[in-house]
Amino acid sequence: MKLLVPVKRVVDYNVKVRVKADGTGVETANVKMSMNPFDEIGVEEAVRLKEKGIATEIVAISCGPAACAEQIRTALAMGADRGILVEHDGVLEPLAVAKLLAALVAKEGPQLVIVGKQAIDDDMNATGQMLAALLGWAQGTFASKVEAADGGLKVTREVDGGLEVVQLKLPAIVTTDLRLNEPRYASLPNIMKARKKPIETVKPADLGVDVTPRLTVLKVAEPPVRQAGKKVGSVQELVDKLRNEAKVI
């Protein structure tokens, strides 16, 4: 079974995000970048499936500027076999990424695509579902457990009411949730080996995909500063403030 695992380059989750002075976006110059944590979970799950003998090849894919090769190298160091970089310097919306991935699926012929459920920069939570719709494949979203069963996959999903188990026929799309696994650290020997693993570079035009943005960002602003809380001496005072100051009752 061949697996495709998309990985996105995002501002590292330990970094405090700052808005640009002109309000056009968030500051990324001289900021530490890393692999989206949910995508890292996807790479780890793919490697575990390969270690169990279920998967035979793992292809890591990233869409974005040339610097995204760094995140592909991280995936290769974790255990992916090769990488594909769809190089594009402009904005890539979830639908455009889903179309690029669909084109790569047609080219590579995988049986499973493991996608992070969302990216921590835009929180869109849309690419995996859009890809499944474009391909007409089964999908198991918000996966906290993935098992091979009956020639397909049994996926335990995290839903509002608890857990839901679905049986997927292959080919399929799985999106990862936080509790699926804990990603491994790449060892130094594997990091050195990753430098020799191949990364193919293509352009959106090579895949026949139009990635022109459909949305325009008008302004990005910092959230308002939260006001300090107030202590009250009694329930009656609390009710009075809620009614006359906060006006919520």
For the chain, 249 residues long, give each residue's pLDDT as a single digit of tens.
999 999 999 999 999 999 998 988 899 888 999 999 999 999 999 999 999 999 999 999 999 999 999 999 999 999 999 999 999 999 999 999 999 999 999 999 999 999 999 999 999 999 999 999 999 999 999 999 999 998 899 999 999 989 999 999 999 999 999 999 999 998 999 999 999 999 999 999 999 999 999 999 899 998 888 888 889 999 999 999 899 988 888
Residue 51 has which token pair? 């270690």
Q: Please tell me the distance from the alpha carbon of residue 19 to that of residue 220, in angstroms, as a whole number.
A: 7
Contacts for 98 with CB less than 8 Å, ≥ 6 apart: 126, 127, 130, 131, 134
Say which residue the tokens 């020997």 belong to: 189
Q: Is residue 224 within 8 Å of residue 116, measured between CB atoms?
A: no
- Domains contained in the chain, CATH given: 2-223 (3.40.50.620)
Considering the entire predicted model, what is its pTM? 0.87
Q: Please tell me the distance from the alpha carbon of residue 7 to that of residue 149, in angstroms, as a whole number.
A: 26
